[in-house]
């Protein structure tokens, strides 16, 4: 494995794969905080150059976090199709990048090859891609999943309506839900982040959302994003949950900080299989985001892009209905400004799709980052062009419970209108029946939440 190169007259010798991977990343404050970032642009390019020439076998044979020490690594390893891997193991990362971007590689070819790739290999290609490369590659891959309804089709931009309330008032949640529905938002999921992590509270919210879905015959799915154990308790008590949610990290230690492990996820998976009320076959909702492993000191000196890819390696095991990266929630110590957030959003979406995941994105920021709503407009359009499965809809982008800004109901309507995208087919039919949408356009009554009262 060659770990040395010369750039613009200067020779760089890298210690190991971790260093190459970290320094090949585009600039991120999180890698700086971890003390693993390239010191300047020249070193960054040197690392990219070395990475480009590594073979896929080099990456697999020199594990950054060995499977013996980490169960996420084991899940990733166990998921590899050895036959496909053997066909390509001698490819360099550069060759893999070019194959993915080539006209020869269509959706099915990429999906096939993906089964022979580890998360680290996918992360490696992302490091060699420009923003437009990430968009071009991801746009080729459609991932259609089905819970109560199907999303992910060509030409479809779905959305999660996120009607959070600062004290979990069921009435307050309902108010934002009505507003969202009236803009045609909510085809991916009606998903609420609760303040109160108790089975009672989760049950109340699930029951309310289910009542609304039943009353108006809305073809979608509901979910309350409490800790997985709380949701399991609520489901065992008979709460109607179409999807089960959990945040993932890219290492066993990181997951431990979230209070989960593979065994618990398996148990939840089993519960949904046996007691879930939705049609399936997909009933998981995962969230991820660059930097979470560093924040729980569970990154093992590995860069945040690679750790993020490993989350997708874990997610893949459970055939989720939806996955999204909460790209800008974590704060400026991981993603400092709009450049970094936009980059991370495109990387995560690409890496998720390369794992065969139904990838969405919470295009978002907190108020202590150097980001504003214009940057969200940009990233939203870029991801919509890249074929993102869904984005998050919050009333005027302002989440009054999580205290951050995402994309608004208006924004999603605009992404759809500008790029000619549609809601999920079943949901669009429903919107037409209710009279909110006609031929893919909002009607004059759209935007009035009282039509649901």
Q: How far apart are CA 56 and CA 97, in angstroms?
A: 11
Tell me: does residue 174 bind other proteins (CB under 8 A): yes
Q: How far apart are CA 284 and CA 344, in angstroms?
A: 23
Residues 286, 289, 291, 295, CA torsion sign: negative
Tell me: does residue 163 bind other proteins (CB under 8 A): yes
Q: Is 49 annotated as a binding residue?
A: no
The least CB distance from residue 436 to other proteins, in Å, is: 12
Stretch that binds other proteins, among 25-33, 88-96, 98-106, 347-355 (CB under 8 A): 25-33
Stretch that binds other proteins, among 40-48, 158-166, 242-250, 351-359 (CB under 8 A): 158-166
**93-101 vs 107-114: helix axis angle to the nearest 10?**
150
Tell me: does residue 197 bind other proteins (CB under 8 A): yes
Q: How far apart are CA 393 and CA 385, in angstroms?
A: 17
Going from the C-alpha of 271 to that of each of 227, 228, 229, 233, 335, the distances in angstroms are 15, 11, 11, 10, 36
Q: How far apart are CA 421 and CA 414, in angstroms?
A: 10
Length of the chain as a residue count: 453
Q: Is residue 446 classed exposed, middle or buried when 0-12, 13-18 and 19+ CB atoms within 10 A define those classes?
A: buried
Among 169, 236, 259, 270, contact with other proteins (rule: CB under 8 A): 169
Q: Is 97 annotated as a binding residue?
A: no
# chain residues binding other proteins, by CB under 8 A: 59
Q: Is 90 annotated as a binding residue?
A: no
Q: Is 108 annotated as a binding residue?
A: no
Tell me: does residue 427 bind other proteins (CB under 8 A): no
Q: Is 161 annotated as a binding residue?
A: yes
Tell me: does residue 353 bind other proteins (CB under 8 A): no
Q: How far apart are CA 140 and CA 143, in angstroms?
A: 10
Q: Is 401 annotated as a binding residue?
A: yes
Tell me: does residue 255 bind other proteins (CB under 8 A): no
Among 405, 421, 423, 424, contact with other proteins (rule: CB under 8 A): 405
Q: Is 303 annotated as a binding residue?
A: no
Q: How far apart are CA 278 and CA 53, in angstroms?
A: 47
Which region, left, alpha or beta, applies to residue 433 given φ > 0 means left and ψ of -120 to 50 means alpha?
alpha
Tell me: does residue 326 bind other proteins (CB under 8 A): no
Tell me: does residue 176 bind other proteins (CB under 8 A): yes
Name the binding residues for adenosylcob(III)alamin.
194, 246, 295, 401
Residue ranges in contact with other proteins by CB under 8 A: 29, 32-33, 163-169, 171-176, 178-179, 183, 195-198, 200-201, 331-333, 336, 366-369, 372-373, 394-400, 403-405, 408, 410, 413-414, 417, 442, 445-451, 453
């Amino acid at each position: 494995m060659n770990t040395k190169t010369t750039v613009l007259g200067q020779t760089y010798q890298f210690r190991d794969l971790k260093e190459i991977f970290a320094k090949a990343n585009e600039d991120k404050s999180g890698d700086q905080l971890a003390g693993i970032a390239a010191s300047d642009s020249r070193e960054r390019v040197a690392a990219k150059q070395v990475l480009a020439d590594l073979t896929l076998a080099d990456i697999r044979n020199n594990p950054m976090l060995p499977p013996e020490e980490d169960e996420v690594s084991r899940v990733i390893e166990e998921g590899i199709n050895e036959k496909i891997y053997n066909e390509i193991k001698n490819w360099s990362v550069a060759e893999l990048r070019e194959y993915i971007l080539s006209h020869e590689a269509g959706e099915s070819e990429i999906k096939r090859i993906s089964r022979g790739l580890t998360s680290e290999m996918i992360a490696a290609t992302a490091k060699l891609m420009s923003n437009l490369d990430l968009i071009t590659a991801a746009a080729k891959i459609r991932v259609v999943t089905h819970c109560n309804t199907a999303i992910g089709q060509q030409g479809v931009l779905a959305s999660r309506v996120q009607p959070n309330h600062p004290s979990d008032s069921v009435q307050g949640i309902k108010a934002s839900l009505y507003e969202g529905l009236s803009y045609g938002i909510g085809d991916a999921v009606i998903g609420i982040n609760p303040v109160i992590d108790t089975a009672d509270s989760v049950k109340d919210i699930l029951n309310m959302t289910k009542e609304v879905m039943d009353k108006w015959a809305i073809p979608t799915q509901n979910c309350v994003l409490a800790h997985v154990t709380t949701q399991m308790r609520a489901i065992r008590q008979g709460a109607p949950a179409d999807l089960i949610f959990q945040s993932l990290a890219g290492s066993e230690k990181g997951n431990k900080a979230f209070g989960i492990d593979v065994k618990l996820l398996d148990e939840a998976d089993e519960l949904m299989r046996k007691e879930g009320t939705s049609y399936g076959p997909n009933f998981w909702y995962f969230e991820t985001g660059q930097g979470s492993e560093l924040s729980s000191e569970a990154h093992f000196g590995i860069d945040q892009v690679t750790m993020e890819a490993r989350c997708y390696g874990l997610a893949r095991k459970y055939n989720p209905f939806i996955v999204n990266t909460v790209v800008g929630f974590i704060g400026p110590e991981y993603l400092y400004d709009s450049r970094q957030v936009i980059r991370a959003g495109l990387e995560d979406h690409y890496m998720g799709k390369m794992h065969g995941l139904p990838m969405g994105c919470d295009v978002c920021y907190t108020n202590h980052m150097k980001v504003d709503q214009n940057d969200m407009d940009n990233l939203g359009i870029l991801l919509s062009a890249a074929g993102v499965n869904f984005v998050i809809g919050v009333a005027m982008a302002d989440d009054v419970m999580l205290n951050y800004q995402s994309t608004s109901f208006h924004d999603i309507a605009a992404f759809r209108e500008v790029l000619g995208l549609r809601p999920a087919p079943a949901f669009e039919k429903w919107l037409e029946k209710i009279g909110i949408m006609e031929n893919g356009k909002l009607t004059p009554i759209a935007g009035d939440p009282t039509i649901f009262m």
